[in-house]
Structures are given as structure tokens and as C-alpha cells.
Amino acid sequence: MDRQKDVLLDIQHLHTAYRLSGKFYDAADDINLTLKKDEILAIVGESGCGKSTIAASIIGLYDHKNTKVTGDILYKELNLVGLNENLFDKIRGNNIGMIFQDPLSSLNPLMRVGDQVAETLYYHTEMNEQERHARVIELFNQVGMPKPEEMYAMYPHELSGGLRQRVVIAIAIACKPEIIIADEPTTALDVTIQAQILDLLEDIQRQSHSGIILITHDLGVVAETADQVAVMYAGQIIEKADVKTIFGHPLHPYTRSLLNSMPQADDEEAADLHVIQGTVPSLKNMPRTGDRFAARIPWIPASAHESKPVMHEVAPGHLVRCTCYKEFHFQDQPAQEGAGA
Amino acid sequence: MAKEILQIKDLRVLFPIRSGFWNRITDYVRAVDGVNFSINEGETYGLIGESGSGKSTTGKAIVGVQKATSGQIIYDGLDVTKAHNRKKISYNKDVQMIFQDSMSSLNPRKRIEDIIAEPIRNFEDLTTDEERKRVQELLDIVGMPSDSIYKFPHEFSGGQRQRIGVARAVATNPKLIVADEPTSALDLSVQAQVLNFMKHIQQQYNISYLFISHDLGVVKHMSENIAIMHRGRLVEVGTRDEIYNHPMHIYTKRLLSAIPKVDVEHREENKRHREEVEAEFQHDQKRWYDEDGRVFPLQQLSPTHWVALPKQEVQAQMKEEK
């Protein structure tokens, strides 16, 4: 089937649990996601919701002693869960590239940036030294570094934040990976640089037809770049849809609250921002039954929630967890009949 | 016309660069290079800039943690860049600061009670009971439970810690609070909480804020008057409406166009607009900056709107707008 062929990454029932004082707690709970070719999939959520845990699970960068990963992460036919480390080394950096949040701590401070890009090529290709050098220059050109020949011999501390992030991107795309995972790639950057980096990611994706998983907490970034969006709360995906639906017709109470609490550059009156009551539960205290968001919308009767919330497909491609969205209204608004239906 | 609480006149903060065999001063980093603005009573003044623009140094100079190289900061008719003047008029009590990183700005070994009581102890002579009552009141204002006085900073979440920072800043009934990126380390929903608290406290006690941030959305939500800072100088000064709806300087336009917008329908148009502005910015640097790459002096356009452009450029832009 054609549709099947485009699927790069298929995550099924992924559970990632961390050991805390002897017990395992699910930080990512029953995650189902698919990433297709030519697609930017954004995973949004606040800190501690498990979005980076998913990234770590995909790329196998977790502490194997204290982490338990179950479920399936299918890269084409290959299951990445429990994959042999030697095999994983061939895939990591080669078929799956990763861009980290803080470029200063993900680059080696004692190595010239050009050599750091060439290192990836050394492990994954059979190029000789000249070819590698030429390819690094080509990559530096591609990611828009000025004077690539000079940049090759620079150390990370000599570069600005934006340039450092470009080096990290060059490392990630060096082997033309089919999947790029970008974990908060622009959080540490200024807005103007952020815009440039996001444009660059889009360009790379258009040229290479790879799939990008963009992990971020910034709804603006999502609205500007993503195709598909998964919103996470407390380890679960609570809403999944294409970007227009998420911002045009959000259904889950959490998505709607989050969008409401955003100060926007184009809202005129300076009214109070919407505040979500309470706090995100910590990993240990997370409720394991019922709707995890219920505690933060106490004015919604308990009968509105499902006892075991599952994802409901309300429209083709638009999935929402729990049925409470049907009765949800903001606290300062009167209840509407069938608001979400 | 609102009363001005603080005036900043030609403020400069230079950091020397030493080099050579004798380690002599060879040049200066002009962190703040001739900045003028004033803050009105009970209003929020927004100071926007990218990293390295000198916005935090300006804030520090106002509080007095950073010594100003030259220029004046007038409060209550006195120049408070001088320490003895600050003491004379209880400036240190009237002006407080909220820091960006709540974890490193609260002493991890002190209980919340001692953290919040510290400024009170510095300036007021209260008995233990009075002091505790005061701390409880302050915790009430920022919506924290009363048993938190016995806890340590690490027992709280980021948003709660930032609220403790706000409580400490308002402890001495200040008239001006310098808030240096108070919410940039916080999540969206928590940020909303802290911003709301800051607004409520402002209305209740008629406090002025100098709100320093790189987030244009947050600044727009909080401030009436805004200054944009770049390379140590002010690029544009104006009311919220003037800055956001009628920006004159290319740098302001560039910043505004770079904010990611929650507007999926017009994504492509936004991007095109951003690229146009960026091209204009890159294309003709001479129009916007002088030979040394510095920002021009400010020109007045209207009673409240100032822009750092040469005269002929301002006129040309005015014509364009008409």
C-alpha cells in the first residue's frame, strides 16, 4: 500500500518508565504516533509531560539500567525497542539524526566544529578524509554558515548561539537521515535567530523529504512550522490532529486552556491571562486511573470524564482523549449544551 | 500626565577590555551606551532586546548592583547612581528586583520565612511576631499556602519559587520593581499565573515596573510604554500601539515579524513578510546604522514616539506611510 510506504516511524503502545526509589513509573504512557515522509510532527507540552522521554526512547539514549521501555517503535520494518546496541549505533546518526536543545553542551568544546561534523561521516560512510572535508563544507553551506572554510577550524566557544545550532543541525543531517528529531531546537535562541533556524529546518525537510519530529513547548513555533501536532499532558497524548485543527478547533480542555493562557503579540486589551488551576503532578504522584487533567478542571462534573480515558476519533485524523471535552467550558463561562459536539 | 517616578539620563555602562603586555585598557564594551527614558508612576515600562543588547545591564544599573560609568538616574530629585544619595532617600527600599532564575536567586539554605523577611529586616524594625504576620500577608498576596514559611526553596515548583521572588520584592512596599525576564524560565500556564499576580499587585499598591524581556508577546501584555534596545542603545521608544502597530525602525519591524504567530491560516504570508523585512534589513545596513555600526541618536516623531534614524530617513518613511 502506498500509504504504508510513506510511514517512516510507527510508535505503538510505547511505555517508557523510569526507576524512582526502586519502583518504575511511566513517564510516557501508551504513546501511539506515526511519522510520515515529508511531514513535521510537533509534540507540544509543558515541562515534565514526557515529550523528551519519547525522543530519548526513539533514539535509544536512556539509562538502560533504570529505564524500562516497552511497546513498539517501528522504523520501517525494524523495531527499535530492545534493539542490539551495535545495530543501533549504525542507525543512530545515520538514519535518525538528532538536534538537541542546548548547542553549547551538545558540542565537544575541545574539538573543531568541522571535525565534529566529519566524525559522523567517519562512522557512517566510507568517505576518505578529503571527501569528508568536502562534504562538511557542503553541509556548512547548506545550513547557511558564512565562510565555511574558516568556520571548519573554529571551536564551539568562538561561535554565536545561532551558528552553534547550525553546526548541530549540520551534524544531524550529515548522513541524510530519513528522520530528524529536534528537541527544543530554538529554545535557547533569540526570536530572530529562532525564525532563521526554523526556516532552515523547513528547507532541509523540503530538500531531503525526511520526516521531522519537533519537540517544543512554544505554541507559536508549532503554528508556524508543524503539519501534525500531538499535545501531551502528564505522560499521555491528549489530543492529536493536523495543525489547522489544533489551532482552529481545539477540543481537549487542556489544549484550549493552554491556547488561552498565551499572551499574544496581537491581542489588544490587557485583560488577565487564563490560568490553569493547580499544578502538573510529579511523576511519582501522577494519577494512574481516570482523566489526568480532571483535577485541574474541578468545575466539570466527574460524570463527564471516562473512568479509563481513551482516544476518540472525533473527525478523520483528529483524536481526543476522554469524553470530557463535550461538557467542558471555561470556569468563567456558562455551560453550553454540546459545546464540543 | 502621569507623574514620572524615575528618569534615566544618558546612562552609560562600559566594561573595559584589557589586553597587551601591561594589561592596559585598550577598548570598552559599550553595554549601555547613552540611554534615556523615564518611567511613570504606577505603569509598566517594557524594555525589549535580544541577548547582549544591554537590557539587563540597564536594569542592574537602575537597582544599583551595577555601577554606571556615566549618566544620571534621577529619583525623587536626586541622582541615585551615587551610593550616598541612594541611602539618603531610602532608594534601596523603594526599588526592588525580580530575577529571571528563581532557583539561583533564592538562597537554598534559608527557609522561605527568612528569605522573604530579609528585606524587611534590612529596613524595618519589627518584632518576631509582627514580622511573621507580615510574611504571612505577603504569601497570601501571591497565593501561597501559609505553611510554606517553614519550607526550603527546593520544595517548590518553578512557578511557586518565582511567586516567592515576587513576594520578596514587594516586602518593603517598593515604588518600583525591576523585573528582569521574570517568566522566561516558566511554562506557559505558570507564566500566566505569575504575570497575573504581578498585575494585581501593581493595581493594589500602585507599583511601577520596569519589565525587561525578550518576549514581545509578554511585554505587550504587560506594558503601556515600550523601549526597544539594540547594541546598547535605544532603537525605538513609544506607546504599545506605536511600537506594535506603527514601528518605524527596521530592527523593530524585524523583531515583530520574527515572533511566531498562532495564525495557521496565514502562515505563508507571515513567512513572506518576515523574509521581506529580513532582506531589507540585510540589504542596506547604512540606512539604519552609522559607519561604526552603531544606532543613530533618537529623533522625536510625536510626543511619545521616538526612533533612532537620521532626519531624512524619518521624513522619507513618513511620506511612505502617507
> What is chain B's Cα-based Rg?
21
A220 interaction partners in chain B (CB closer than 8 Å): 217, 259-262
What does the DSSP assignment read for B258-319?
Answer: HS--S-GGGHHHHHHHHHHHHHHHHHTHHHHB-TTSPBPPPEESSSS-EE-S-HHHHHHHHH
pLDDT of residue B142: 83
Please give, rounded to a whole number of angstroms, the shortest distance from the CA of B142 to a CA of chain A. 14
Smallest Cβ–Cβ distance between A265 and the set B50, B51, B259 belongs to: B259
| Interchain contact, A259 vs B274, CB within 8 Å | no
pLDDT-based confidence at residue A1 (cuts at 50, 70, 90) = very low
Once rounded to an integer, what is the mean pLDDT over residues A43-60?
89
Please give, rounded to a whole number of angstroms, the shortest distance from the CA of A170 to a CA of chain B. 22
Give B175's Cβ-side CA count (13 Å radius). 15
Report which secondary-structure segment, H or E, holds A97.
Answer: strand A96-99
Q: Is A288 helix (H, G, I), strand (E, B) or coil?
A: coil
The separation between CA B233 and the C-alpha centre of its own chain, rounded to angstroms, equals: 14
d(CA A176, CA A210): 8
Please give, rounded to a whole number of angstroms, the shortest distance from the CA of B296 to a CA of chain A. 21
Dihedral of alpha carbons B106, B112, B114, B117, sign = positive
Average pLDDT, chain A: 88
Give A159's Cβ-side CA count (13 Å radius). 28
| B164 grid coordinates | 516567592
For chain B, the distance separating the N- and C-terminal CA atoms, rounded to the nearest angstrom, is 29
- Length of chain B, in residues: 322
Count Cβ atoms below 10 Å from residue A112 Cβ, excluding itself: 16
Question: What is the pTM for the complete model shown?
Answer: 0.86
Q: Is B94 helix (H, G, I), strand (E, B) or coil?
A: helix
B271 interaction partners in chain A (CB closer than 8 Å): 199, 224
pLDDT tens track for A194-209: 998 999 999 999 888 9
- CA geometry: angle at A55 spanning A171 and A199, to 5°? 50
Please give, rounded to a whole number of angstroms, the shortest distance from the CA of A281 to a CA of chain B. 11
Asked whether the predicted pLDDT for residue A237 surpasses 50, the reply is yes
| Interchain contact, A46 vs B189, CB within 8 Å | yes
Q: pLDDT exceeding 90 applies to what percent of chain A?
A: 49
d(CA A305, CA A293): 10
d(CA A169, CA A180): 9
Q: Biggest alpha carbon distance in chain B?
A: 66
pLDDT of residue B279: 87
Asked whether the predicted pLDDT for residue A77 surpasses 90, the reply is no
Strand order across the beta sheet in which B44-49 lies: B95-98, B176-180, B208-213, B44-49, B225-230, B233-239, B306-307, B299-300
Quick one: DSSP state of residue A92? B
B262 interaction partners in chain A (CB closer than 8 Å): 219-220, 223, 247, 259, 262, 264
Quick one: DSSP state of residue B56? H
| Interchain contact, A247 vs B262, CB within 8 Å | yes
DSSP bridge pairs for B46: B211, B226
Count Cβ atoms below 10 Å from residue A298 Cβ, excluding itself: 11
| Interchain contact, B50 vs A265, CB within 8 Å | no
Quick one: DSSP state of residue A156? G
| A173 grid coordinates | 543531517
d(CA A28, CA A62): 13
pLDDT of residue A334: 65
Question: For chain B (length 322 residues), average pLDDT per consecutive 10?
Answer: 85 90 88 91 92 89 91 90 88 90 89 92 90 91 86 88 90 92 84 88 91 89 92 92 90 89 85 88 81 84 88 76 66
Smallest Cβ–Cβ distance between B189 and the set A270, A272, A275 belongs to: A275
What does the DSSP assignment read for A119-153?
Answer: HHHHHH----HHHHHHHHHHHHHHTT-SSHHHHHT
pLDDT of residue A250: 92
Count Cβ atoms below 10 Å from residue B279 Cβ, excluding itself: 10
Asked whether the predicted pLDDT for residue A268 surpasses 60, the reply is no
pLDDT of residue A269: 56
Q: Testing the interface with B: which of A184, A231, A256, A262 to mutate, by most B Cβ within 10 A? A: A262
CB B123 within 8 A of CB B172: yes
Task: Tell me how far CA of residue B234 lies from CA of A298, B35, B231, B239, B296, in angstroms.
Answer: 47, 6, 8, 14, 9
A267 interaction partners in chain B (CB closer than 8 Å): 220-221
| Interchain contact, B221 vs A223, CB within 8 Å | no
